[in-house]
Structure formats: structure tokens, C-alpha cells
Structure 1
Amino acid sequence: MGILDTKDLEELEKEVIRLARSYPKETKKFLQKQGNKLKARAIKKAKSKLKEKTGNYLKGFKRGKVYKYKEEEDTVRVYNYMPHAHLIEYGHRIVGKNGKEHGFKKGHFILEEARSEFQDEFIKAADNFVDDIIKKGGF
């Protein structure tokens, strides 16, 4: 058995603290990059599913800021800020000028489908990110 020196433990502690300080900046960059990829995927999905190419719906996709979700997890949100986006996303009643209902337009669920398709790619990227952080830390 080897002898454990307290000096080695102190050096390990300093390395862990240094790694912990650099972690938030690296995480923020990583999440912003992944959010941009998800936004691009959502726009691509919207272009393929929607017949209407005019309007501002495609311009409305945004990546939000990185924030703490429930005070625990770092999160980034991709959304569409256009006032009619929820109608395209979830569907709506079709109502004539006289107020008579003519049916229901089903939603396309573009953001949900883009998120589910992107999930596997994100998990792989997150695993690589964690490996890189550990390697940079010298562990």
C-alpha cells in the first residue's frame, strides 16, 4: 500500500476547485451551442411541414438565455415568440367572420418533434462535453 500525503490531497483539492470555477462558463457555452442547433432543427422541421412559406413564423424562432431550472439544472429554451405560433403548434378552431365554426385545424407540434429528434444527439454531445471537461481538468 502506498502512503497518502496530505500535500497530494491539497493539490487535488485545488485542481477540483479550479475545475469547478471554469465549469459554469463552459456549460453556458455548451448549452448555447446546443440551443442554436435545436433552433436550426426546429426551423428545418417547420419548413418541411408547413405549406405556407410567407409570414413571420419562421423568423420567430429564438434561443433563450441559459438559466437555472428549479434552482438546480442549467437549461436553455427554444421557442417561437410570434403571436400566432401557438395556433400553428397546437392547432385551433376555424371560425368565419360571422362567428360560425367551420372545423378544427390540427396542430403540427413542430417544437416537440424537433426536441424529440434532437434528444439523442444532445445526449451524445453532453457525454463528450463531460469527458472534455474531465480531460481539461487533468483527471
Structure 2
Amino acid sequence: MDFKLDGLSKFQKDLLEVAQDKLPKETYQIMRKIGSKARSRITKEARSKVKKKTGNYHKKFKRGKVFKDNQGQIIVRVINSSNHAHLIEHGHRKVTGSGKEVGFTTGKKVMEQGIQNFDGSGEFENMLSDWLDELLDSGKL
């Protein structure tokens, strides 16, 4: 997931950097909450786009572990661990039993749309700013 921090002021961005250095456990905890919220938003998007209820596609959306990447950014992933999720996401060929190709099913782009909806809703920035306010009120920062 890649979110833009457009809704935060410069002061809040500076606070976020300080919080990442001084309070890494709390930072990881808020990122887990944000990842869980994003997972639920993506699952909702998937249920509206993918109407066929065969398999375990809708049940297999998961929030991954929170980790730091090579640039030092804290990242959380949302994945779908079902075997056929990539086919729904990116599309697939339609073939007969003999192997003859009869068409192509275009991808639904569920993950991409779900992330865009979550990022555009401002919920990410609201959760971060509320968390920063709580840290300031409690005296941890």
C-alpha cells in the first residue's frame, strides 16, 4: 500500500517522524490498525465487484505484518491469499477442455480500486492525526 500524506500539516508530519523514532511500538500498532481498516475497505470493494461466490476469495483478504523497507518507511500490506486472486485481479484466458482459447476475461482491479478509495476517503490521515493528538495529550511526545 502506498498512501500520500496530503491531509497532514507540516507540524504533524514532523511529529510523525519523531513518533517513529521515539515510539516504534506505538507506530507499528497504529499501522496495524490502519492496515486492518484498509483490508475491510478492500473486502467491501471486492464484494461489490466480484459477485460470484465460489471458492474462498472473499474470505482470504489479510493484513500483512508491519515492517520497515529499505528507505526506512513503515509499511503494511493487504493481500489476498487465495489461489485464484491474481486471476480475478489481472484477468485470465478462457480455454476449453482441449486447450483451445475462446476468449479473455478482463481483470477487476479490486485491490487497486480499494486502495484508491481508502486513500481518497481521508480516513488514513484522520486516523494518523487522531493518534498524534492522543500522543500529545498523554505527554508521550
- TM-score, normalised to structure 1's length? 0.78
Deviation track 1:24-52 (CA, whole Å, cap 9, x = no partner) reads 11111101111111111111111111121
Partner residue, 2:52? 52
- CA distances 1:60-101 after superposition (whole Å, capped 9, x unpaired): 111011100224011110000111100001111111111111
* Other-structure match for 2:138: 136
Q: Which runs of 4+ in 1 moved over 6 A?
A: none
Cα distance in 1 for partners of 2:55, 2:101 equals: 24
Aligned match of 2:123:
121
Q: How many residues align?
A: 122
SS at match of 2:65: coil
What letter matches 2:96 in structure 1? G
- Using CA pairs under 8 Å that are at least 6 residues apart, name the structure with larger relative contact order, 1 or 2: 2
Cα distance between partner residues in 2 of 1:95 and 1:38 = 35
Offset of residue 54 of structure 1? 2.5
Deviation at 1:20, TM superposition (A): 4.7
What is the match of residue 29 of structure 2? 29
Greater C-alpha radius of gyration: 1
What is the match of residue 79 of structure 1? Answer: 79
**Which structure carries more helix by proportion?**
1
Alpha-carbon separation, structure 2, partners of 1:19 and 1:42? 26
Q: Could you tell me the TM-score, scaled by structure 2's length?
A: 0.77
**Root mean square deviation, CA, Å:** 2.2
Unaligned runs of 5+ in 2: 1-17
Distance 1:25 1:138 in 2: 13
Unmatched tracts of structure 1, length 5 or more: 1-16
Deviation at 1:18, TM superposition (A): 10
